[in-house]
């Protein structure tokens, strides 16, 4: 077994608070304080494996890593994985920073903003990617069936719910309205947790919601309409999230990072090749009901991160004033994780 020692890195509380991943507030509220172990990849040969802990969020986007653990892919690469559920990036980032967790999962906007703020975070393996089909994606802007809003530009002057202000859903919706010729400055973006969005929409407190699965399907079951795929349409082939670690981890344990990266690539491919199994594994870490699981749209699970989409996301964040400078791609992603 490899013995690892990581340095603790001091991080400002303000910077950590800003890093909330897009999936916070999922149906798996059992996660509670965010520290409950989700699953363990140990085996009889666990003594020969390197134990690692990965912070994840209970959303459909992490189905591939759960599947990889379940199928023994990480064991094959010499890793004994513990997946720990958290409510969002605000809990995962400091845990990775301090060495309490080895790797974490977060959306790309949070990681870009974090890097701009001086946090030594880097993507080592890609996560979910949009389907590229605005009408059939894992994210959509939903409006009531009788709403006069027919397209994204009709959101001018409207009240739009996002799960976290100044993060990925806000940024891609902002960009979608702008591309369609709408006056984005007139849109009132309000912060509403994913589980509360549908009720707020039905009560008329917001005009539209930016939902991700399973909340897209749940809103459709309630009669809402999808007017815009805010991941699929504004940025081509958007790589939404990734698995990250610190610069210190990469310097001190390059072989371990490479093992994790290769195991994630294989897990992503397995999820792509076995879509039914990717859906079935959701029941192991979320409370999404079986009917919704059957109907929901899963994201793509590519082996490599779309570098162009990462760079475009950084440009959008800079245009919104959320970062001062666009970080170099080499500062955002380890070599070999993207294309």
**Where do the structural domains in the chain lie, given as residue ranges?**
13-130+238-332, 139-228
DSSP letters along 38-90, please?
EEE---TTGGGSEEEEEEE-SSGGGHHHHHHHHTTHHHHTTEEEEEEE-SSHH
- How does the average pLDDT of the chain come out, rounded? 87
| Domain 13-130+238-332 coded CATH 3.40.50.300 | no
Cα gap 138→215, rounded to integer Å: 9
Tens-place pLDDT, residues 98-152: 999 999 999 999 999 999 999 999 999 999 999 999 999 999 999 999 999 999 9
Q: What is the pTM of this model?
A: 0.85
The predicted structure's pLDDT at residue 90: 75
Q: How far is CA 45 from CA 1, 39, 48, 49, 76, in A?
A: 11, 17, 6, 7, 11
Tens-place pLDDT, residues 197-253: 999 999 999 999 999 999 999 999 999 999 999 999 999 999 999 999 999 999 999
Q: How far is CA 127 from CA 238, 266, 294, 306, in A?
A: 11, 12, 21, 10
Cα gap 325→313, rounded to integer Å: 12
Stretch (H or E) spanning 329: helix 329-332
Going 291 to 215 to 132 to 68, the CA torsion angle's sign is: negative
Quick check: 108 and 77 in contact, CB under 8 A?
Answer: no
Nearest alpha carbon to residue 168 among 246, 55, 89, 63: 89
Quick check: 86 and 57 in contact, CB under 8 A?
Answer: yes
Q: What is the Cβ-side half-sphere exposure of residue 31, based on CA atoms within 13 angstroms?
A: 27
Going 46 to 52 to 53 to 59, the CA torsion angle's sign is: negative
Question: Same topology for domains 13-130+238-332 and 139-228, yes or no?
Answer: yes
Quick check: 170 and 319 in contact, CB under 8 A?
Answer: no
Going 26 to 123 to 239 to 126, the CA torsion angle's sign is: negative
| Domain 139-228 coded CATH 3.40.50.300 | no
DSSP letters along 306-327, please?
-HHHHHHHHHHHHHTTS-SSPP
CA 206, distance to chain mean position in Å, is 24
Cα gap 164→88, rounded to integer Å: 11
Tens-place pLDDT, residues 254-275: 999 999 999 999 999 999 999 9
Tens-place pLDDT, residues 280-310: 999 999 999 999 999 999 999 999 999 999 9
Tens-place pLDDT, residues 169-189: 999 999 999 999 999 999 999
191: number of Cβ within 10 Å: 13
Quick check: 278 and 67 in contact, CB under 8 A?
Answer: yes
Task: Report the DSSP pairing between strands 188-191 and 103-107.
Answer: unpaired
């Amino acid at each position: 077994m490899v013995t690892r020692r990581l340095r603790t890195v001091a991080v400002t509380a303000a910077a950590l608070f800003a890093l909330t991943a897009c999936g916070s507030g999922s149906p798996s509220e059992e996660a509670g304080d965010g520290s409950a172990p989700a699953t363990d990849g140990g085996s009889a040969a666990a003594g020969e494996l390197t134990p690692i802990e990965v912070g994840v969020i209970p959303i459909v986007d992490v189905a591939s890593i759960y599947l990889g653990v379940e199928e023994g892919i990480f064991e094959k690469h010499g890793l004994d994985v513990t997946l720990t559920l958290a409510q969002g990036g605000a809990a995962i980032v400091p845990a990775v920073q301090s060495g309490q967790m080895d790797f974490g999962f977060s959306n790309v906007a949070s990681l870009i903003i974090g890097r701009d703020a001086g946090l030594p975070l880097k993507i080592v393996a890609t996560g979910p990617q949009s389907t590229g089909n605005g009408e059939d994606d894992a994210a959509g802007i939903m409006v009531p069936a009788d709403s006069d809003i027919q397209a994204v530009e009709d959101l001018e002057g409207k009240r739009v719910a996002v799960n976290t202000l100044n993060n990925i859903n806000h940024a891609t919706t902002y960009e979608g309205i702008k591309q369609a010729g709408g006056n984005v400055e007139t849109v009132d973006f309000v912060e509403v947790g994913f589980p509360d969005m549908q009720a707020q929409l039905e009560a008329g407190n917001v005009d539209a919601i930016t939902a991700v699965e399973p909340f897209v399907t749940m809103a459709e079951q309630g009669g809402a309409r999808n007017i815009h795929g805010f991941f699929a349409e504004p940025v081509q082939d958007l790589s939404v999230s990734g698995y990250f670690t610190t610069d210190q981890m990469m310097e001190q344990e390059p072989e371990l990072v490479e093992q994790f990266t290769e195991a994630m690539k294989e897990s992503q491919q397995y999820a792509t090749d076995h879509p039914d199994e990717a859906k079935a594994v959701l029941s192991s870490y979320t409370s999404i009901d079986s009917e919704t699981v059957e109907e929901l749209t899963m994201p793509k699970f590519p082996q490599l991160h779309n570098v162009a989409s990462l760079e475009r996301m950084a440009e959008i964040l800079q245009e919104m004033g959320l970062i001062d400078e666009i970080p170099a791609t080499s500062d955002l992603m380890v070599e070999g994780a993207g294309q």
